[in-house]
Amino acid sequence: MRRSKVPRSTTDQRLLDSRGSADWLHTDPWRVMRIQSEFVNGFGALAELGPAVSVFGSARTRPEAPEYALGEQVGRALVEAGFAVITGGGPGGMEAANKGALEAGGTSVGLGIELPFEAGLNEHVDLGVNFRYFFARKTMFVKYACGFIVLPGGFGTLDELFEAVTLVQTQKVTSFPIVLVGTGYWGGLLDWLRGTAAAAGTVSEKDLALLTLTDDPHEAVRIVVEAERAVAEQQALAEQRAATGHPE
Ligand SMILES: C/C(=C\CNc1ncnc2c1ncn2[C@@H]1O[C@H](COP(=O)(O)O)[C@@H](O)[C@H]1O)CO
């Protein structure tokens, strides 16, 4: 740089001068660093988690509601089947699944999100990571889980559900079971998807099959276990073929 383009201070000076402006804290390049650190923290905390399932559900479910008991049963059944349980770490259905997992002696993960009305991680989380950005947090729900179980929920739950279906439908993730628990709650949505969306051709019948519906928490876990077994068998077969040099 020359003439007026030459900065009046050096980078080192600006770094070391504590009286300098802090405006840069609110710039996009700095946000990129924060976003990067969320991925680094998330990957670091979860890399050795082992097999896990993400459970979604309403933040508003009350502890006395039947859906809360359902969440607890799902959390417990997942641990008994050998999975860690990942939730959004909040209240309601998330808390229920964390509670069930913790009481069953399993790993109970909460991926918290900074919200204006933040309540902090629920007390049943024993491995917690906090995020500012939904998209970084969502990556963790998918990357470290081998399936999703979806309890009754509102917009947040619907967002997570449809992101999961989109990722499977577009083959960004493969062999990823998505189980909706609560036929009374989810049945209407599936009817609409079949009767309106599929009928209009905006979703395919094949993609509707990506969603399984049950009332039974043990059945929900069984579906995830079966899917995991199928993946393991396919992997073993592929390794065998590679070792013997037979591609078919
Ligand atoms: C509404 C209240 C607190 C919200 N706190 C949340 N903490 C963590 N994760 C959340 C929270 N709210 C939504 N989520 C995510 O979306 C799903 C639930 O959303 P829904 O609209 O309630 O269905 C959930 O799976 C989270 O990942 C104070 O009560």
Stretch 94-101: mean pLDDT, rounded?
98
CA neighbor of 127 nearest in space, from 117, 140, 118, 136: 140
Report the nearest atom of ligand 1 relative to the CA of 113.
8
For the stretch 186-240, pLDDT in tens is 999 999 999 999 999 999 998 999 999 999 999 999 999 999 898 888 888 888 8
pTM: 0.89
* 151 within 8 A of 57, measured Cβ to Cβ: yes
What's residue 248's pLDDT?
58
**Residue 162 half-sphere exposure, CB side, CA atoms within 13 Å?**
10
What's residue 4's pLDDT?
80
Q: Atom 1 in ligand 1: which residue has the minimum CA distance?
A: 59
For the chain, the domains span: 36-244
Average confidence score pLDDT of the chain: 92
Residue 150 pLDDT greater than 90, yes or no? yes
**Residues whose CB is less than 8 angstroms from the CB of residue 54 and which lie 6 or more positions away in sequence, other chains included:** 86, 87, 141, 142, 144, 145, 147, 148, 149, 160
Q: 94 C-alpha to center of ligand 1: Å?
A: 8
What's residue 247's pLDDT?
60
Stretch 59-63: mean pLDDT, rounded?
98
Q: 9 C-alpha to center of ligand 1: Å?
A: 46
For the stretch 103-122, pLDDT in tens is 999 999 999 998 887 678 99
What's residue 246's pLDDT?
67
Report the nearest atom of ligand 1 relative to the CA of 88.
27
What's residue 27's pLDDT?
80
For the stretch 6-35, pLDDT in tens is 777 777 777 677 777 777 777 877 889 989
- Ligand 1 is surrounded, with C-beta below 6 A, by 56-60, 88-91, 94, 112-113, 115, 119, 153-157, 160
Respond yes or no on whether ipTM tops 0.90.
yes
Fold of 36-244: Rossmann fold (3.40.50)
Q: Atom 26 in ligand 1: which residue has the minimum CA distance?
A: 88
For the stretch 160-188, pLDDT in tens is 999 999 999 999 988 789 999 999 999 99
